[in-house]
Chains A and B, each alone.
Chain A
Amino acid sequence: MAHCHGSNIKIDLPEHGRKIVLAGNPNVGKSVFFNALTGMYVDVSNYPGTTLDISYGRLGEDLVIDTPGVYGISSFNDEERIARDVILSADIVINVVDAVHLERDLFLTQQIIDTGVPVIVALNMIDDAQKQGLKVDADLLEHLLGVPVMETVAIKGKGLDQVKNNINKARSGIISHPELQKMLTKMKARVASQGEALLILEGDPIISGRHGLQPAKHREEIYLMRRERVNDLVGHVISEIKEGTDFKTKLGRWMITPVTGIPILFGMLYLMYQVIGVFVAQTVVGITEETIMVGMYEPFMQSLVSKFVDLESWLGYMLAGEFGVLTMTVTYVLGLLMPLVVGFYFFLSAFEDSGYLPRLAALTDRMLSLVGLNGRAIIPIILGFGCVTLATVVTRLLGSVRERRIAIFLLALAIPCSAQLGVIAGMLAGLGGIYLTLYVIVIFSVMAIVGTLLNRFMPGKSSDLLIDLPPLRIPRIENVIKKTVTKSFAFLKEATPLFALGAFLISVMNLTGLLAALQNFLAPITVGWLNLPKDASTAFVMGIVRRDFGAAGLTDLAMDPLSTIVALITITLFVPCIAAILVLFKERNKKEAAIMWFGSLTIAFLIGGIVNKLTGMFANETTGIWFTILVFLGTIGLTSLLTRIRNNTNVKTVSQEG
């Protein structure tokens, strides 16, 4: 029963077939090997309990499995856990290493060798190493590691056949240290598998748990032995290190240092705005949502449903009515969300593949650390402007529960998703620059103040940034497209049932009069406290269905510019759409999700009201607006000052970041 790892991936293995596993650090070119080995027939399946997919395909009788890029195998994050399980179940491992970064890459190589599995090493990007003045002695490396080493330049197709033809020559290599060999032999007597013995010795809680053993406490000892051995190997096989910085290294630094990094970031954001905000959100969605879904699909579905059920009945209403599961959900997911999610994932994949993403994390780390997050949180924040539901799911990559809570709440509260952003931008465009400034400053301030307070008062500690900055390179289009497709598909598959459930709940709320009751409840607050027309509360409630419905509901109301801004601020901060709420319930617990929901409802009306009162304090509207802007900026300063004074007494402890 202890050897059931890997069995949670449902793959049929032919009787004589072997499991050939591709492993390596992130961005070393594994996928090129995978494609070259398996050809066109590739399957992708979700790894249970994660958002990650693994690809597998056939090579003759054998099965080739790809693994996520990792720096080592352990239980530090989902990627590592998957790589660990797949590698432990392998018959042969093809380890792809980046010849330029052998000090980093050979750590994983040596760890895989220590598991005892037969290995063959592809020494990839050997041309890059030469260009950078490195000479790598592959024969000596082969001799020292005790496993075959093949030089390759995967993207140019060089050496791929050689690796393919030599898979059978893979063999078990030389263990890091004789001392480790002794420890392994002893542990192997208890668990039968050398790979599992190694992981138990390295203190892996999951593998130890599978054997009913306590994790051993030798990780650091073994890691240091391995590091020493790798440094020694590198010292022997690499020569002629020529110092000097090329253009790519310089560009990489410009991306990190604020003076140049911030303009580069704005350049990227502008590009994203042009592609996603203008082209996808307007042109593409115009066709997919309006023309195809609303114009053709919905009438078709309604006439189809009407053949079986009366559309006026409650069942007909739920299936094909205003918020119908078969009408609104499908239109929303396929017509609106899909193009946007694909657009966002395309940029994210390109940033990832080019090496820009970790540099962006380094650039934004300082600002995000003020709200208890680290630079890695920039990924869900960027995605949040696409779809808050998507971003909430993606917060899984953050290092601790505390960071996830902060990020999820800030996303739910202050990040307008692309659907809503489109409507808001349209309404702001008609007003003057001063109103736009007020809107941006207020939303930004709320995010900063709430984040700072959460960071100050939430128990626990957030993790610090510790990331590898891979070399910059031009993103490979086939890689970017593959990632975009698999990630978008995985998200839509996960989110569609939630959108359907959301639509169902909204229909029920509407039929039972709950929606109207909520509207009536909010109406006095809307009129008295926010000084908005009574119908604005309808718009707010519609915002629960779809954020853009809410914002769009405001366009029809006759309001002066200031009221428009108050309404827009309130609807931006107002609770996220029903699908995002359901994800919140799924990702966090009920209590936490409820607190976040009521929290953003309260903050939305509180801030809207404050803006209304502050701007109204002066007879001259412009003075009132500037006064309000100053009050909000002053509050950010005051909050950060106050929390800093109290914080100095606490010594901050550090936790990990993978």
Chain B
Amino acid sequence: MVLSEVKKGQTFKILSIPNEIVRAQAIRFGIAEGAIVTCDELVPAGPVILRKNKQEIAVGHGLAREILVEAIQ
């Protein structure tokens, strides 16, 4: 599924991120492909707020629709 479809509180693994500059930025923040993150907050049709440990990142809706993720139980 894509990142924009996750639910609040869900934990998942990031599978792929489009666009190499976004990917570079994501690697710096520590949410690169393969990272396991939690959705902390969700603005309806707006940004997804991701958390990994204490680090929080806001991802715009358009971008979230292009990031592939996999839910983790």
Contact = CB atoms under 8 A, between A and B. Distances in A.
Interface string B1-42: 000000000000000001111111111111010000000111
Contact of B30 (A103, A258, A375, A471): A103
Given A71-B25, A103-B30, A132-B54, A657 B19 contact: no
Contacts of A468: 29, 55-57
A241 B40 CA distance: 18
Contacts of A655: 19, 21-22
B49 A256 contact: yes
A655 B20 CA distance: 9
Interface in A227-263: 227, 230-231, 241, 252-253, 256-258
B17 to A, nearest CB: 9
A74 to B, nearest CB: 8
Contact of B41 (A134, A220, A253): A253
Contact of A223 (B28, B43, B47, B58): B28
Contacts of A366: 43-47, 61
20 contacts: A71-B25, A104-B28, A107-B30, A134-B54, A220-B27, A224-B27, A252-B56, A253-B41, A253-B49, A258-B46, A365-B60, A464-B22, A464-B60, A465-B58, A465-B59, A466-B26, A466-B60, A469-B49, A469-B57, A656-B25
B53 A466 contact: no
Interface stretch (A4-12, A356-364, A519-527, A600-608): A356-364
Given A224-B27, A362-B58, A466 B22 contact: yes
A361 B40 CA distance: 16
Contacts of A76: 21, 24-25
A656 B19 contact: yes
A358 B29 CA distance: 15
A111 to B, nearest CB: 9
Nearest to A470: B56
Given A72-B28, A220-B24, A653 B46 contact: no
Contacts of B58: 256, 358-359, 361-362, 365, 375, 465-467, 469
A460 B52 CA distance: 33
Contact of A365 (B28, B47, B54): B47
Interface of A: 71-72, 74, 76, 100-101, 103-104, 107-108, 132, 134, 219-220, 223-224, 226-227, 230-231, 241, 252-253, 256-258, 358-359, 361-363, 365-366, 369, 374-375, 464-469, 471, 652-658
B53 to A, nearest CB: 6
A504 B54 CA distance: 55
Interface range for B? 35 or more
Contacts of B49: 253, 256, 362, 469
A257 B25 contact: no
Given A103-B53, A365-B46, A375-B58, 5 more contacts: A100-B54, A219-B20, A223-B27, A227-B32, A365-B58
B47 A375 contact: yes
A466 B30 contact: no
Contacts of A241: 53
A252 B31 CA distance: 20
Given A256-B49, A365-B61, A654-B66, A101 B41 contact: no
Contacts of B68: none
B40 A253 contact: yes
B43 A258 contact: yes
A256 B59 CA distance: 12
A76 B20 CA distance: 12
Contact of A219 (B18, B24, B53): B24
Contacts of B25: 71, 76, 466, 656-658
Nearest to B54: A100
Top 7 nearest A-B pairs by Cβ distance? A465-B60, A366-B46, A656-B21, A464-B63, A464-B60, A469-B56, A362-B58
Nearest to A74: B24
Nearest to A223: B27
Nearest to B66: A654
A282 B47 CA distance: 38
Q: Is the interface of B mostly helix, strand, loop or mixed?
A: mixed
A258 B63 CA distance: 20
A467 B57 CA distance: 6
Given A258-B44, A365-B43, A227 B27 contact: yes
A300 to B, nearest CB: 53
Contact of A101 (B23, B54, B66): B54
A461 to B, nearest CB: 9
Contacts of A101: 54-55
B43 A256 contact: yes
B19 to A, nearest CB: 5
A266 to B, nearest CB: 17
B19 A369 contact: no
A224 B17 CA distance: 14
Nearest to B41: A253
Contacts of A100: 54
Given A656-B19, A656-B21, A658-B25, A103 B55 contact: yes
A262 to B, nearest CB: 11
A464 B27 contact: no
Given A103-B52, A224-B27, A256 B41 contact: yes
Most-contacted residue by chain A among B20, B43, B61 (CB, 10 A): B43
Nearest to A227: B27
B73 to A, nearest CB: 18
A473 B7 CA distance: 28
A424 to B, nearest CB: 31
Nearest to B62: A464
Best-buried of A103, A363, A655 by chain B (most CB within 10 Å): A103
A71 B21 CA distance: 13
Contact of A224 (B32, B56, B63): B32
B24 to A, nearest CB: 6
Nearest to B30: A103
A219 B66 CA distance: 21
A467 B25 CA distance: 9
Contacts of B60: 365, 369, 374-375, 464-466, 657
B18 to A, nearest CB: 6
A241 B41 CA distance: 21
A93 B54 CA distance: 26
Nearest to B33: A224
Give the most central of B18, B32, B42: most A CB within 10 Å.
Answer: B32
A654 B62 CA distance: 8
